Amino acid sequence: MFYVVILDETVEAINSGALTKPKQSPDGKNKDPRVLVNPNLLQPAPVWVDQTGLPQHRKTGPSAEAGSETKMERSRLRIQDRELQEISDDGWCLSMHQPWASLLVKGIKRVEGRTWYTSHRGRLWIAATAKRPSAQEISEVETTYKILFQKDLEFPQDYPSGCLLGCVDLNDCLSQEQFKEQYPQLSQESASPFVFICTDPQEMIVKFPIKGKHKIYSPKAADSLMPSPNFSTVPGMMSTLGLL
């Protein structure tokens, strides 16, 4: 019973950050026999190491902004509870070229291919890049999806650029081999090394101007054309207005 009580106290001290290295006598032995942690094992917290090819998130310069963004990304990647990720919305965003961006938030495009893996799950905001698509590009992509679906589709009336379009739920990120095995009916939509499985597309009626960044990013840290929307209030506001 004594051991259990001391263990509970030690665990609580670790969680609160109050645990310090035990005092030692001149002969190197601990003065307090109640301490259950070997002081020789005390070391800095482990650093996240991505095994999928992404660069390690280490602070390499004195920039406070870069350090803050790295800290946010590291905290996000440490979340292991899939359900917690899926119900949370921290405003993470992915920039895409048109016309594919609008087709994704319309639900016509169901997957998105990338050359890199992501651990993100849950809501993912979709932004259109500043590059405007040509009429030929739009026609070719729309024709491709008509062939894939084997029916007429209701395509967007326009494909705006440089703005926030809406969001999807990112359910999974699969390798090309896994994608073909688990979603053979969608396999023609992407030949990329990694495929994002997207569901529940929601398009915004009001499009916020925004300047994107590489990979999945937080618009709060991006250099926006206008002040970034407050992502903690946007979903509720849009729901109230019937925009989502």
Paired strand residues for 166: 126, 203
Q: Tell me: the pLDDT tens digits for 106-119?
A: 999 999 999 999 99
pLDDT tops 90 at residue 213:
no
Mean pLDDT along residues 163-191 = 94
Mean pLDDT of 215-235: 57
Q: Burial letters for 2-31: b for 16+ Cβ neighbours within 10 Å, e otherwise?
A: eeeeeeeeeeeeeeeeebeebeeeeeeeee
Contact between 52 and 117 under an 8 Å Cβ cutoff? The reply is: yes
Instruction: Answer for the pair 188, 110: CB distance below 8 angstroms, yes or no.
Output: no
What would the mean pLDDT of 68-94 be, rounded to a whole number? 63
User: What's the chain's average pLDDT?
Assistant: 75
Give the model's confidence band at 237: pLDDT under 50 very low, under 70 low, under 90 confident, else very high.
very low
Q: What SS3 state is found at 100? A: helix
- 23, pLDDT greater than 90: no
Looking at CATH, the fold of the domain delimited by 81-241 is given as: 2.30.130
What phi and psi, each to the nearest 5 degrees, are found at residue 65? Answer: -65, -45
* pLDDT of res. 212: 80
pLDDT in tens, 178-195: 999 999 999 899 999 999
* Residue intervals in the chain for CATH 2.30.130.30: 81-241
pLDDT value of residue 242? 43
Peptide bond into 184 cis (omega under 30): no
Which pLDDT belongs to residue 12? Answer: 74
| pLDDT tens digits, one per residue of 35-46 | 555 555 555 666
pLDDT at 224: 43
Phi-psi domain of 3 (left: phi exceeds 0; alpha: psi -120 through 50; beta: other): alpha
Q: What is the pTM of this model?
A: 0.59
**Contacts by residues 85-88 (CB-CB < 8 Å, ≥ 24 positions apart):** 85/120, 85/121, 85/122, 86/121, 86/122, 86/169, 87/122, 88/122, 88/123
Tell me 30's DSSP state: B
